[in-house]
Structure 1
């Protein structure tokens, strides 16, 4: 994908997300109801497609995040972010989890709770 196409794609996606945010925060009741009828299914389909790409392989590794030299265990960052935003009460990241936590002397293992 060339740089111009990547930039155009990025801009289009960000603008769509901004539009949906505006509609949710400033739209009237009928607009928000219409949004729920159309966009929730599209967003859940998108999440499912993304999570399917990051489903663990037979070695419990994420095939998308793993490289030839550096395999990534499941759950990868995509699954962790999905959990934070879809399951966690406030959508905030788990304190002390992730690869940058080690630099601060915290555990680097994120534990996903059962729902």
Structure 2
């Protein structure tokens, strides 16, 4: 990837600002960690992914014990209304399955009042 002059100036300015911040923090006896935007985005993405995995793991016991109720078969009527254009009749089967989830089993969701079952 080729960097433009403006990108080089912006990168150099960001590096200088980070170096100044690190020097100031060291002078105060504090520790500072400097991350690039790419590294910061990777850290955020991995944190989000980890959170999703933890929430799914917390839901797993509730999902594994949930009663699975198959939906009823839905069929179209072979008679079309006189005003409507007549289409060939074909039965439609629903492939949806409904699962009851016990949200109270998940610690992160217990305090959420806006979740409806």
Whether TM exceeds 0.5 here: the answer is no
Which is richer in helix? 1
More strand by share: 2
Q: Please, what TM-score do these two structures have when normalized by structure 2? A: 0.28
- Structure 1 or 2, whichever has the larger Rg, is 2
Relative to the length of structure 1, the TM-score reads: 0.29
Higher relative contact order (CA 8 A, sep 6+): 2
